[in-house]
Amino acid sequence: MDVVLIGLPGSGKSVVGRRLAHRHGAAFIDLDASIEAAAGRSIEAIFEAEGEAGFRSREAAAVVALGDPDPDPGVRRVIATGGGTILDSRNRWRLFRGRLPVWLDARPEALAQRLRRSRHVRPLIVGREPVSAIRQLGAARQRYYAAAHRVNGLAEPSAVAATIARLVDAGIAGSTRLLDAETRIGRIVVGDGIAADEVVGALGRLGAGRAILVSEPGAWAAVGAPLAEAVRTRGLSVDVVTLPSGEDAKRLAAIEVAASDLARLRVERGEPLVAVGGGALGDAAGFLAAIWMRGVPVVHVPTTLVAQIDSSIGGKTAVDLPEGKNLVGAFHQPESVIVDVRLLETLPERQRRAALGEAVKMAALGDERLFHLLETEGAAIARGDPAAHESGAVAELVERALWAKVEIVLADERERGSDGGRVTLNLGHSAGHAFEALGGFGSLLHGEAVAYGLRVACRVGRTIGLTPPERAARIEDLLTALGLVVGALPFTAAETVQAMATDKKRTAGRLRWVIPTADGVVVRSDVPDEVVVEAIAGLLATPNASPATPVR
Ligand SMILES: NC(=O)c1ccc[n+]([C@@H]2O[C@H](COP(=O)([O-])OP(=O)(O)OC[C@H]3O[C@@H](n4cnc5c(N)ncnc54)[C@H](O)[C@@H]3O)[C@@H](O)[C@H]2O)c1
């Protein structure tokens, strides 16, 4: 097997790595040395000549050059990475899958002291006050390091090597953790094949004596039943509460039935519920957890792409009324969100493709890398191409989109910000909600409606001079390439504007438009009605037209 050592600069990856390799008669690979050898110059010189971006692309190439993991159960290779190698999602996917990733953890003060004595120049630290520089690096990377096995990096190198040898004896799991973050809005874990172990771990931390899974028939048949079985084989008893599929779960009557099930199962105050399903199930089960016994913990296991990149993050729970969607609900932050990208393998193509409407929205909020990922690999992800899973493209998409939402929600948990923060997540939703409502919440999937709404926002933005034409074209071309917006909508502009007025009433007469700019968004409440009508009429007439061509 390959052991991969990760950790901050100075955490001892090279020293421990050599010791470990020696102990097992294995090869030692210092990734920084491989990069220097390939470039024919020092890391410092690479940073100077090519900047951090140049270095990172050489680093990614060095990770690829490692090839496949060594399948031998004994240690064959010990790989010491640079401190920032694991920042890149693809590097992590390649380095952690089928290998044993070990985090040499150490306090910044101790690391600063070590670095003062070191003869190596660390480009990201040089010229800065070392303790605070290391602390900052540590905070930014904690969630990636924490996905690996944590070992005290300050112990004697031989003791560290002995601890790692014990991990080696335990073998390599068939699952891969990619991210593990303790946040104010719950612990968030992302990985591949991790669901059962993480559910058991999360319930263990909550002191639960059983797993109470709340699911719906679609998710249950696809992934819930095997997950329940895997949880049972790990020693926990399982009880199941079943809600209806789709939006039917989000009805007060369905919640009442499920609450009676909880009563029959004698679910007590403090006993966590585990929501296994897509966004509709998560909204309903989250609401159930918020009100059962005045609130019990909830663990989300999102099983659709919409749920993984969007609805499971942020603590919004809701059910619908005949008068409108999501009218009754509560904020109820989960204890944990367990995002297992392997659960997406059974997802129907239409669900996958529609969810990319939300992903394009997250990219348009200002994530250039996500934009590029969608432009280059989005179509394969939409098709459910197994290569898109294998290459780590799906995992990167999920991680980037999800984390972008985490950051926005952390900055504005209760949507109090009026012109920034959480409200920016409504990009594409002003007209999108109206199309969804007009279609009767069934004919158009949410992400499809958002894709239409994004086009309207781009066209509105172009007309009022906020969205540069090339940015609008880039967003709309991407939506087209992803197969989003293919048919004309059977509504009129007047109907759409009327449906939007319902949203407007909810926000005291001012509909806040989130409008794309050259590299992000602005929020405006002063968009003239005639501009909106014109943009919607244009979209209804020519849904797929690139804005580079006249839309009128
Ligand atoms: N709370 C929030 O912040 C938030 C954000 C966005 C959307 N939402 C809500 O999310 C809902 C839409 O979510 P959704 O698109 O996930 O819908 P969904 O939960 O209805 O799931 C879509 C379909 O996929 C099936 N399914 C689920 N997991 C599967 C799997 N792994 N394999 C195969 N099939 C599977 C389901 O049975 C269902 O038929 C809406 O109700 C929307 O309001 C909430």
CATH class of 354-541: mainly alpha
Length of the chain: 552
Could you tell me if the CB of 310 is within 6 A of ligand 1?
yes
Q: Report how far residue 19's alpha carbon sits from residue 496's, in angstroms, rounded to the nearest whole number.
A: 68
Could you tell me if the CB of 347 is within 6 A of ligand 1?
yes
Mean pLDDT of the chain: 91
Q: Does position 507 have pLDDT exceeding 70, yes or no?
A: no
Could you tell me if the CB of 91 is within 6 A of ligand 1?
no
> Per residue, what are the HEC states of 368-431?
HHHHHHHHHHHHHHHHCCHHHHHCCHHHHHHHHHHHHHHHHHHHCCCCCCCCCHHHHHHCCHHH
pLDDT at 132: 86
pLDDT at 393: 98
Q: Report how far residue 165's alpha carbon sits from residue 173's, in angstroms, rounded to the nearest whole number.
A: 15
Q: 291-326 burial by CB neighbour count: b if 16+ within 10 A, else e?
A: bbeeebbbbbbbbbbbbbbbbbbbbbbbbbeeeebe
CA of 99 to the centre of ligand 1 (A): 33
pLDDT at 552: 31
Q: Report how far residue 93's alpha carbon sits from residue 534's, in angstroms, rounded to the nearest whole number.
A: 46
The one-letter amino acid code at 213 reads: L
Could you tell me if the CB of 446 is within 6 A of ligand 1?
yes
pLDDT band at 307 (very low <50, low <70, confident <90, very high): very high
Q: Check: CB of residue 254 under 8 Å from CB of residue 284.
A: yes
Of 304, 312, 427, best ligand 1 pocket probe by most atoms within 8 Å of the beta carbon = 304
Q: Does position 208 have pLDDT exceeding 90, yes or no?
A: yes
pLDDT band at 278 (very low <50, low <70, confident <90, very high): very high
CA of 371 to the centre of ligand 1 (A): 23
The SS3 of residue 442 is: coil
| Minimum CA distance residue for ligand 1 atom 21 | 278
pLDDT at 119: 59
Q: Which of 428-437, 494-503, 510-519 has the lowest mean pLDDT?
A: 494-503
The one-letter amino acid code at 431 reads: A
Could you tell me if the CB of 83 is within 6 A of ligand 1?
no
Q: Report how far residue 110's alpha carbon sits from residue 238's, in angstroms, rounded to the nearest whole number.
A: 45
Could you tell me if the CB of 278 is within 6 A of ligand 1?
yes
pLDDT band at 547 (very low <50, low <70, confident <90, very high): very low
Could you tell me if the CB of 415 is within 6 A of ligand 1?
no
DSSP code of residue 192: E
CA of 219 to the centre of ligand 1 (A): 9
Whether CATH 3.50.50.60 fits 186-347: no
Per-domain residue ranges of the chain: 2-172, 186-347, 354-541
φ/ψ region of 545 (left if φ > 0, alpha if ψ in -120 to 50, else beta) reads: beta
Backbone angles phi, psi at 515, to 5 degrees: -115, 130
Q: How many CB atoms lie within 10 A of CB 126?
A: 12
CA of 308 to the centre of ligand 1 (A): 9
Q: Which position has the higher pLDDT, 539 or 474?
A: 474
pLDDT at 338: 98
Mean pLDDT on 161-183: 92
Q: What is the percentage of the chain residues whose pLDDT exceeds 70?
A: 93
Whether CATH 3.40.50.300 fits 2-172: yes
Of the candidates 61, 69, 70, 67, the one whose C-alpha atom is nearest the C-alpha of residue 97 is 69
489-494: which pairs have CB atoms within 8 A and are 24 or more residues apart? 489/435, 489/439, 489/452, 489/539, 489/540, 489/543, 491/435, 491/438, 491/439, 491/540, 492/540, 493/533, 493/536, 493/537, 493/540
pLDDT tens digits for 284-300? 999 999 999 999 999 99
Count CA atoms closer than 13 A to 485's CA, side-chain side.
27
Could you tell me if the CB of 285 is within 6 A of ligand 1?
no
Q: Report how far residue 14's alpha carbon sits from residue 166's, in angstroms, rounded to the nearest whole number.
A: 19
Q: Does position 521 have pLDDT exceeding 90, yes or no?
A: yes
Within this chain, domains 186-347 and 354-541 share the same CATH topology: no
Of 301, 306, 342, best ligand 1 pocket probe by most atoms within 8 Å of the beta carbon = 306
pLDDT tens digits for 87-118? 999 999 999 999 999 999 998 888 888 777 66
pLDDT band at 133 (very low <50, low <70, confident <90, very high): confident
User: Residue 483 pairs with which residues in a beta bridge?
Assistant: none
pLDDT tens digits for 371-393? 999 999 999 999 999 999 999 99
Count CA atoms closer than 13 A to 172's CA, side-chain side.
21
Strands 513-516 and 521-524: antiparallel
Mean pLDDT on 132-158: 92
Index of the ligand 1 atom closest to the CA of residue 325: 43
Index of the ligand 1 atom closest to the CA of residue 447: 15
Q: Does position 548 have pLDDT exceeding 50, yes or no?
A: no
Q: Does position 506 have pLDDT exceeding 60, yes or no?
A: no
Q: Check: CB of residue 102 under 8 Å from CB of residue 167.
A: yes
Strands 298-302 and 336-340: parallel
Structure tokens at 493: 């502009």
Mean pLDDT on 407-431: 83
